[in-house]
Amino acid sequence: MTNSVFDPVALRSDFPIFQRTVRGGARLVFLDSGATSQKPRSVLDAERNFYENHNAAVNRGSYLLAEEANAAYESARQSVADFLNGKFEEVIFTKSATESLNLLAYSFGNSQSSSKFAVKPGDGIVVSEIEHHANLIPWQQLAKRTGAELSWFSVTPEGRLDLSNIDQVITEKTKIVAITHQSNVLGTIIPLAEIVKRAHAVGALVVLDACQSVPHFSIDVAALGIDFLAFSGHKALGPTGIGVLWGRSELLSEMEPFLTGGSMIESVTMTDATWAPIPRRFEAGVPNMAQAVGLEAALKYLTEVGMERVHGHELDLTASALSQISDIPGVKVVGPLDMKDRGGVISFTVEGVHPHDVGQVLDSFGIAVRTGHHCAWPLMRRMNVVGTTRASFYLYNTEDDVVALVDGIRSVQKYFGV
């Protein structure tokens, strides 16, 4: 995909899965990239090539394959750093974004009480009501373990983060502000700059859950001014089993490890151990090498298409879907109705039909959507819904997919007689 014209239909041929049909020959209308993305052939080839030609445990062997495996793995690290505009040693490979966020929470929790990362009774941890469970529960539990106080930004009925009380939410006591960049349910992109400014003014660290943003638009960690960022490879065209934690090197190099074991040590006796420098300090055990290499291929693919074009295309589809879906009587969009600070995710409810049933009928037409609470149970309660149906778009979706979705929703209503 190096041609200069962005053509999502042509691009679909890079993704083998779109060659198959589903449910009695239906075209696959995949609208669940918010959960996981499909993979281009180049990613699958990269993984296969690693196993077929270079497979050996990194950081250990003294033979040729091990050298090649090392080079491939560290090249992947550099590619992630370049993609985020961070530094090589600031990129930690994990198995998932969930692990990345837990790594932070446990590392902070493991700190000596004299450490600047220590979390103590009376300290504050700030999250928001739009967090995915992966960026809520690690902090909620850290607060419980340490006696720190968890507080949060609420969400407005329109699905925007409410910053009207930002000075009361982020206070002099706040140590950590952990927040999602874009809601996986509402599509809302948060006013990050304002939050970073306030957090840093009180000396708090900012952790960004970028699972829904890194795959979809260009991220520059230096420009954002954040301290840590987590994303998952599989939502960004990459393989499962590979996640990233990016952190500012001066912070990471002072932090306690999370998982301990091989690779992450400097020296070991029967009773003690010292830690390797970053990034290896945070990568215990043989890492997911082929998956890191696959992620590198994914980021290369996205870079060749161009993140600006990926984002622009998603916004076009979202605007089209948003206006058509919100026009259907009995269908309610949960989340912002305008395109301001909004990504390619649309949640909605169909009056009289449970989301699970909506998803089932859509599936009968080959349309894959997510239904339920989207790992954001507190947000569901806040928005007064038991669950929603969610369509999420990516670079391989087309206007035909939007048409199929809109027709599908009408068929749902007809089927259930609502």
Partner 1 sequence: MDLDSLYQEVILDHYKHPLHKGLSEEKTIQVHHVNPSCGDEITLNLLLEANMVADISWDGVGCSISQASTSIMSDLLIGKSISEAFSILDEFSGLMQSKGGSKGNEEVLEDAVALAGVSKFPARIKCALLGWMAFKDAASQGMSDEASNKQGEENG
Q: Which residues of 29-44 are buried (b: 16+ CB within 10 A; e: fewer)?
A: bbbbbbbbbbbbebbe
Amino acid (1-letter code) at residue 63: Y
CB of 143 to partner 1, least distance (A): 22
Helix ranges restricted to H, 50-122: 64-84, 97-109
Q: Please tell me whether residue 176 binds partner 1 under the rule CB under 8 A.
A: no
Which of 27, 87, 311, 354 is the binder for partner 1 (CB under 8 A)?
354
Options 145, 197, 356, 414; binder of partner 1; rule CB under 8 A: 356
Task: For residue 39, give the nearest of 231, 306, 239, 244 by alpha carbon.
Answer: 239
Among 86, 344, 387, 408, which residue interacts with partner 1 (rule: CB under 8 A)?
387
CB of 360 to partner 1, least distance (A): 7
Shorter beta-carbon distance to partner 1: residue 21 or 323: 21
Do residues 90 and 247 lie in contact, with contact meaning Cβ atoms separated by under 8 Å? yes
Does residue 371 bind partner 1 (CB under 8 A)? yes
Q: Per CB under 8 A, which of residues 21..50 are in contact with partner 1?
A: 23-24
211: annotated active-site residue: no
DSSP string, 386-414: S-EEEEE--TT--HHHHHHHHHHHHHHHH
Residue with tokens 């030609």: 53
DSSP-assigned beta bridge partners for residue 92? 245
**Of 100-108, 240-248, 341-349, 367-375, which segment contacts partner 1 by CB under 8 A?**
367-375
* Dihedral sign, Cα of residue 22, residue 26, residue 32, residue 37: positive
Query: For residues 134 and 242, which CB has a smaller minimum distance to partner 1 in the complex?
Result: 134
Based on the shown chain and the rule CB under 8 A, indicate whether residue 157 belongs to the binding site for partner 1: no
**b/e per residue 249-264 (b: at least 16 CB within 10 A):** bebbeebbbbeeeebb
Write out the E strands in 114-180.
124-128, 149-153, 174-180
Under the binding rule (CB under 8 A), the answer on residue 330 touching partner 1 is no
Task: Kindly tell me which of 89 and 357 has the beta carbon lying closer to partner 1.
Answer: 357
Q: Which of 120, 193, 285, 377 binds partner 1 (CB under 8 A)?
A: 377
Report in angstroms how near the CB of residue 351 gets to partner 1 at its nearest: 14
Asked whether 103 and 94 are in contact (CB, 8 A), the reply is: yes
Q: Is 378 in the site for partner 1 (CB under 8 A)?
A: no
Minimum CB distance to partner 1 smaller for 22 or for 259: 22
Which residues lie near partner 1 (CB under 8 A)? 23-24, 353-357, 360-361, 363-364, 371-373, 377, 380, 386-387, 415-416
